[in-house]
Amino acid sequence: MITKQEAIEELQTQILMYEGIIAHIQHYKPDADISYFERKIEVVILSKLALESQMPRRADGDKECYVCPACGYEFPDIGGVNESYGESETYKFCPECGQAISYDE
């Protein structure tokens, strides 16, 4: 089974491959339609971004205010008011962009 990191690396290789194909086509046939390969690159980039957002990234900040490493969204009062009632709210994913969040150092 391939890991998410290996899949991301493979997707990056595909992006480079399609860019190489486009460069080759444009070199030999400058007027050729390359829209098919440009769309392929867009699809691969979106796939890569989706996989990357599933891999946890460490949130910056402290219990008073964490910040998403992907979009900069500030998480409200994690472990503050709610903790005083015996509940501690932590986010596994950013509520703004969906990035997987880690609080480990």
Rounded to an integer, the average pLDDT of 39-52 is: 97
Rounded to an integer, the average pLDDT of 48-66 is: 87
Structure tokens of 32? 């050729």
Q: Locate the domains of the chain by residue range.
A: 4-54, 57-102
Rounded to an integer, the average pLDDT of 74-97 is: 65
How distant is the alpha carbon of residue 27 from its chain centre?
A: 33
- On average, the pLDDT of the chain sits at 86
Least Cα distance to 63 among 29, 89, 98 occurs for: 89
Q: Each residue of 65-74: pLDDT tens digit?
A: 788 999 999 8
The band of 5, judged by pLDDT with boundaries at 50, 70 and 90, is very high
Q: Are 75 and 46 in contact (CB under 8 A)?
A: no
pLDDT at 82: 45
